[in-house]
Structure 1
Amino acid sequence: MNIPVSRFLLGGLLALSLAACQRAAEPAAGTTNTLSAAEGLDPNSYARTDQVRIRHISLDLAVDMTARTLSGSTDLHLDWLDDKARELALDTRALDIRGVEGLDGKAWRKLAYRLDAADPIHGSALRIAVDKPLPRVRIRYATRPEASGLQWLTPEMTASGKPFLFSQSQAIHARSWVPLQDTPGVRFTYDARIRTDKSLMALMSADNDPAAVRDGDYRFEMPQRIPSYLLAIAVGDVAFRPISARSGVWAEPSVVEAAAAEFADTEKMIQVAEALYGPYQWGRYDMLVLPASFPFGGMENPRLSFITPTVIVGDKSLTSLIAHELAHSWSGNLVTSASWKDIWLNEGFTSYVESRIVESVYGREKAEMENVIGQFGLAGEMKAMPAVDQKLALAPLTGRDPDEALSDVAYVKGQWFLMFLEQRFGRETFDAFLRHWFTTHAFTSTHSAEFERFLTVELLEKHPGKVSVGEVREWLHDPGIPSSARPATSTRFDAVDRAQADWLAGKVPAAGLDAAGWSTQERVRFLERMPDTLSAAQLAELDAAFAFTGTPNAEIAQRWYPLTVRSGYTDARPAIEAFLTQIGRRKLIMPTYEALAATDDGRAFARAVFAEAKPGYHPITVSSVTQALADPAPEAATP
């Protein structure tokens, strides 16, 4: 998943045989659900995974685009670990439960149930009473229009002029559209029947058929075990374009050709990742380009990554995001953190793999630049972050929203830790270790303690004197960045820094800078290291030379517009309004909203823009912007 404000994501790699990697690997026996007893129960789920666990889900849902609801049933196939357990506790959020049945022998019978009072973070526990362990439970239900894990777009909000639905289940939003055990510590297979208007195509994180006929009745199977946050659905007017025999792009018809051209390197990326970390084990790797209201850069739903259209800029400069979501096919999807406190096992590993893909496909210079950008963003984020949240292995997120764990610490510090290990042990040794980690733990959910144990046995003890136990513990369990960290460097950024210094000192006008060949990353560096404010004349000079205001490149816009706001450069406001109303990706718009919220005038302008943009924002984005634009707390009176 692409969340942090500072991340750039890229991709590609070399190949094993296509036939081998198209075969879906069978999970090893006993690896269905692997949240260990030592780890305890997930504090972000009501599920008693020590008593019973879901092993398969069968969905049968009708999509009502007008009412903005999914309605139907789900069958939960259960593994009972405790024969004496007499309750099945499931996670829900704002679901209308219409009935519960259990399969007893060959007959279904009604079961008593109750919904607990709703918690603002975790929703309501659905508690189903059983008189003995039952192999299957069926729940009839409907979602509500305000479901936090679903976004319903009206025809006016899409390029095709037809309604669109998509889900976002991470971190704990799956419970808003399916009653289930909403924890990454439980893995299950699933099948689904989805009924829609015949003019629309339904897709899921499953075996989507590129040649499927639009008939309004779609069936899916996901044979590999996944955690709940990777359960995904989308319904809309989309077309398909192939990239290779096992990869392609789904998008609205007016976008699909540009998307296929932008993501043409995807097969190269798959091949490189396979050469490093083993065969791709999910069958197909397709991408769905969502409307611009998608709140994130990407979401690594297996077999069908969700992708923001903001990375389609015509020059492949932002396709690192594809490398990131693809990398999740090994780190996150194949080997998953068992609870949200260890999310770095997903995102730190993925950011490291992403960088290796970028280096192989696009060159070391590009990978170096993106690593510098990432570490610069991490340093800025850590300045305002409590020490307890600066650790990779977090404490259990009891009473906290697990979305809070998705910070640059998980992504960038996690990647930096793996880069440190690579530097100490050597790339050849570390590559073999990482491949062994993915192979050994495939289709399981694990935790930081297991990685620490595995690292000690497979690297530290086999190669003594390279890295100490104390250094590992400092990376995992201490706040901040360890002294053993080697910062990323970029010679191309050194040249950008010199050019910026010359311009700020008045030695060279903006139009005289040798910047014609600068990449997106170099322009980002140029803007990121500017002073907090510039004069109106300086901003106008930069605008004349670089045309930053109104740029179609959202990575540039998210750095430029906050600078103009802090500097009082109101000439950019019309472009800011257009930017904030056309894009719903949180990473890109939040810096500008936060800058505007710093003054009364800016906050008033931002609220007016937000009122216009809100219908097209995802509920997650709406929550973030609402919080940012809240009235500041009154200052405490001086005694």
Structure 2
Amino acid sequence: MTFLRTAVAAAALVLAGCQMSEDNSAAPAENQQEAQIAPILTTPEAKDTASYARPLEARVHHIALDLNVDFEAKRIGGTATLDIDRKPDAKEIVLDDKGLEIESIADGAGQPLQWKVGAADPKLGSPLAVTLGPDTKRLVIKYKSAPDAGALQWLTPEQTAGKKKPYLFSQGQAIENRTWIPTQDSPGIRQTWEATIHVPAGLTAVMSAPKAAEPITQGGESVFSYRMDHSVAPYMIAIGVGDLAFKSLGPRTGVWTEPVMLDRAAKELEDTEKMVEAAEKLYGPYRWGRYDLLVLPPAFPYGGMENPTLTFLTPTFIAGDKSLVSLVAHELAHSWSGNLVTNATWADSWLNEGVTSYFENRIMEALYGPRRARQEAALSFDEIEKAFAEEGRNAPITRLNLPPAQAVPDGGTSGIIYDKGAVFLRTMEKIVGREKWDAYLRSYFDRHAFQPMTSALFLADMRANLVNGDKALEQKLQLDDWVYKPGLPSNVVRPDPAAFAEVDQAVKAFASGGPVPAAFGSWTTAEKMRFLNKLPRKMPTARLEELNRRLKLNEVGNYEVMFSWLDLAIRNRFDPAVPALERFLTTQGRRRFVRPLIETLAEDRQWGRPIAVRIYRVARASYHPITQRDLDKLNLTN
């Protein structure tokens, strides 16, 4: 039997939301609702080692939350009602729990069920094992999140833009939702869900699902209801609560944010509806109804989070000239790659991020032209080379399918997961032709909509639906080399050397003692970043002073350009940049900016570490728990 036939056969062995026989084959569904339950992959590489769940014995397929948001106690609490599917002889169901305070667990009839929280792992949390009765199909869990729940960030009014009301937001990816929702927290166990959220009157709660009812305010609280009828990976359940206002961007798009930020955010996002239309022309219909965005306070740890129907965004993308809206294109593209078809385990996170990064670039090309797309693709390729320089070109971590040591939540490196993944798809496009490639990728999303995916099954799908037995094409594509080997295969499509020809010449001239480029002010954001990133990492102070004086880099309002400048400045102990560095690190908490700058400072024991200690002691409270966890390892507060 060929590999293709083996993988395809294995893919067919799924739990299709119905009763399972002893040999794990699927029996007919009892009703239409069960027939719509998302499958569980049974191939060996689809086993999620970051979850305690045993979904082939018993799995969650629907969650109903009824929760109170308590800003004073910094807790979310109430009930989670889980609808489960199980084998007839299953004795228990195992959920993921990290710090939840469980009060009781009962079945759907209110009869108490026995439960036990197992030993805790500092990263994964604990297994929550619930004993099942012969006919148990529903669990009702009364619980509270802990005040230090890793998914939740609680902001005081002073930490918001409006300075009047408190704010809460969640960040569930990769495995943080187990800190506030008791469920099987694995991307391969897709679940539908609904929620009723009680918040103090005067605040608005938004979630990553369509609105199920109009909000009600009475007795000092407001109640909001949401329902997601498509099955999603549990990390995609998200909440935001605060002083929020909404502005429409188009027939099915809009932006939520604090009132004082609304006009600026809406102006930057005015092309969102066009982005959705461009994405649909490429790879098929947008299947989620609305596409809204929530622009969060600066403490949000990521650039964006692709929560279905409600992308969460950092305000650092607001540059005033739409030069950073590729971030929006990226999160929108996740509505296909990541949300529609999702990596089953974190070993294959490139299936989410690499495919999305390629798709993002295609959206940018459609809206803003080939030149901008080529430049952004070239910057992306720079990130691959940076990863190779840091990790070693032949290091196992430079594989797309991550080896066991790196196949953990948030494992790997972005230069590989995002950028090598995008170049893989760009290379496939070049070899087979854009028309044929686009037809294949669109059909891929159609075939696997609302299902989990692995690298092995993705390659099997390519061989079945793109290669079609063409041995010469198979040899040209080098599929296994791309996914399972480190480095870059020989067929890699490299960036257009003309994309930054002028900039690269300016870098060479300045590095050789030439003048500051006079054209810098008229360059695109990508060109400015390329120039700063390509300069030698060690430069004389006088040259940095000349750069700063002529280009006013300490005053730049574009966060990406400022990050590139500060990285260069601190590697050269450039004291005049320290005030700008302090402002940058204390007014936003985007992990991609904060972590490398503070880590670089901390490595410099004499000059940089005292600065890092001073800044982190001030800024730590404003950073998300995920960011704090990364930086606390540096022992800067001792």
Q: Map 1:15-26 onto structure 2 (within 5 A).
A: none
Report the more deviating stretch, 264-273 or 495-504.
495-504
Q: Map 1:160-239 onto structure 2 (within 5 A).
A: 160-161=162-163, 162-208=165-211, 216-239=222-245
Partner residue, 2:291? 285
CA distance in 2, matches of 1:277, 1:560: 37
- Cα drift, residue 550 of structure 1: 3.1
Choose the corresponding residue for 1:449, options 434, 441, 456.
456
Contact 1:369–1:490 (8 Å) recurs in 2:
no
Partner residue, 2:401? 393
What's the CA shift string for 1:528-584, capped at 9, x where partnerless? 001112122111111112111132211012111121112121111111111100010
Output the TM-score relative to the length of structure 2. Answer: 0.91
Output the TM-score relative to the length of structure 1. Answer: 0.91
CA distance in 1, matches of 2:537, 2:519: 24
What's the CA shift string for 1:5-40, capped at 9, x where partnerless? xxxxxxxxxxxxxxxxxxxxx999455133224445
- Cα drift, residue 599 of structure 1: 1.7
- Cα drift, residue 490 of structure 1: 4.9
Q: What SS does the corresponding residue of 1:248 show, helix, strand or coil?
A: strand
Contact 1:492–1:522 (8 Å) recurs in 2:
no
CA distance in 1, matches of 2:448, 2:226: 26
Contact 1:499–1:513 (8 Å) recurs in 2:
no
CA distance in 1, matches of 2:477, 2:284: 31
CA distance in 2, matches of 1:406, 1:249: 31
Contact 2:525–2:561 (8 Å) recurs in 1:
yes
Partner residue, 1:108? 110
CA distance in 2, matches of 1:353, 1:76: 35
CA distance in 2, matches of 1:181, 1:216: 29
Q: What letter is aligned with 1:186?
A: I
Q: What SS does the corresponding residue of 1:589 show, helix, strand or coil?
A: helix
Partner residue, 1:132? 134
Alignment of 1:439 with 2:442, yes or no, is: no
Q: What letter is aligned with 2:557?
A: P
- Going from structure 1 to structure 2, the CA distance change for 1:580 and 1:422 (only over 3 Å counts) comes to same
CA distance in 2, matches of 1:306, 1:129: 37
- Cα drift, residue 88 of structure 1: 1.1
Partner residue, 2:82? 76
Higher relative contact order (CA closer than 8 Å, sequence separation 6+): 1
Contact 1:191–1:221 (8 Å) recurs in 2:
yes
CA distance in 2, matches of 1:296, 1:75: 30
CA distance in 2, matches of 1:395, 1:591: 24
CA distance in 2, matches of 1:594, 1:196: 38
CA distance in 1, matches of 2:229, 2:153: 26
Choose the corresponding residue for 2:100, options 53, 78, 95.
95
CA distance in 1, matches of 2:140, 2:569: 55
What's the CA shift string for 1:450-499, capped at 9, x where partnerless? 11111111111265523428711100110011111021125241100111
- Going from structure 1 to structure 2, the CA distance change for 1:273 and 1:210 (only over 3 Å counts) comes to farther
CA distance in 1, matches of 2:636, 2:623: 17
Contact 1:59–1:73 (8 Å) recurs in 2:
yes
Q: What SS does the corresponding residue of 2:248 show, helix, strand or coil?
A: strand
Q: What SS does the corresponding residue of 2:567 show, helix, strand or coil?
A: helix
Q: What letter is aligned with 2:378?
A: V
Choose the corresponding residue for 1:355, options 361, 367, 380.
361
- Cα drift, residue 397 of structure 1: 5.9
Q: What letter is aligned with 1:597?
A: A
Contact 1:95–1:142 (8 Å) recurs in 2:
yes
Partner residue, 2:500? 493
CA distance in 2, matches of 1:615, 1:388: 36
- Going from structure 1 to structure 2, the CA distance change for 1:462 and 1:27 (only over 3 Å counts) comes to farther
Q: What letter is aligned with 1:393?
A: N
- Going from structure 1 to structure 2, the CA distance change for 1:423 and 1:629 (only over 3 Å counts) comes to farther
CA distance in 1, matches of 2:521, 2:559: 19
- Give the unaligned 5+ runs of structure 1: 1-25, 633-639
Alignment of 1:625 with 2:631, yes or no, is: yes
- Going from structure 1 to structure 2, the CA distance change for 1:463 and 1:260 (only over 3 Å counts) comes to farther
Contact 1:152–1:165 (8 Å) recurs in 2:
yes
What's the CA shift string for 1:375-407, capped at 9, x where partnerless? 111211222326221111223468x64111362
CA distance in 1, matches of 2:387, 2:441: 28
Contact 1:392–1:413 (8 Å) recurs in 2:
yes
Q: Map 1:235-250 onto structure 2 (within 5 A).
A: 235-250=241-256
Partner residue, 1:267? 273
Q: Map 1:453-532 onto structure 2 (within 5 A).
A: 453-461=460-468, 464-468=471-475, 471-507=478-514, 509-510=515-516, 513-532=518-537
Contact 1:121–1:401 (8 Å) recurs in 2:
no
CA RMSD, Structure 1 to Structure 2 (Å) = 2.0
Alignment of 1:591 with 2:596, yes or no, is: yes
Choose the corresponding residue for 2:160, options 130, 153, 158.
158
CA distance in 1, matches of 2:81, 2:622: 33
CA distance in 2, matches of 1:35, 1:93: 25
- Going from structure 1 to structure 2, the CA distance change for 1:210 and 1:86 (only over 3 Å counts) comes to closer
CA distance in 1, matches of 2:262, 2:619: 25
Q: What letter is aligned with 1:176?
A: T
- Give the unaligned 5+ runs of structure 2: 1-31
Q: What SS does the corresponding residue of 2:321 show, helix, strand or coil?
A: coil
Q: What SS does the corresponding residue of 1:217 show, helix, strand or coil?
A: strand
Q: What letter is aligned with 2:401?
A: A
Q: What letter is aligned with 2:300?
A: F
Q: What letter is aligned with 1:394?
A: L
What's the CA shift string for 1:108-134, capped at 9, x where partnerless? 100111111210110011111123241
Partner residue, 1:557? 562
Q: What SS does the corresponding residue of 2:192 show, helix, strand or coil?
A: strand
Partner residue, 1:15? none
CA distance in 1, matches of 2:279, 2:555: 36
Partner residue, 2:13? none
Q: What letter is aligned with 1:536?
A: T
Partner residue, 1:42? 48
Partner residue, 2:417? 410
CA distance in 1, matches of 2:42, 2:182: 23
Q: What letter is aligned with 2:398?
A: Q
- Cα drift, residue 272 of structure 1: 0.9
Contact 2:166–2:242 (8 Å) recurs in 1:
yes
CA distance in 1, matches of 2:205, 2:436: 44
CA distance in 2, matches of 1:219, 1:314: 34
Q: What SS does the corresponding residue of 1:109 show, helix, strand or coil?
A: coil
Contact 2:99–2:179 (8 Å) recurs in 1:
yes
What's the CA shift string for 1:324-363, capped at 9, x where partnerless? 0000001010001111111111111101110100000011
- Cα drift, residue 505 of structure 1: 2.2
Q: What letter is aligned with 1:392?
A: L
CA distance in 2, matches of 1:339, 1:442: 17
Runs of 4+ in 1 over 6 A off after TM superposition: none
- Cα drift, residue 590 of structure 1: 2.0
CA distance in 2, matches of 1:46, 1:303: 28
Partner residue, 1:637? none
Aligned residues: 600
- Going from structure 1 to structure 2, the CA distance change for 1:173 and 1:498 (only over 3 Å counts) comes to same
Q: What SS does the corresponding residue of 2:531 show, helix, strand or coil?
A: helix
Contact 2:58–2:92 (8 Å) recurs in 1:
no
CA distance in 2, matches of 1:125, 1:273: 40
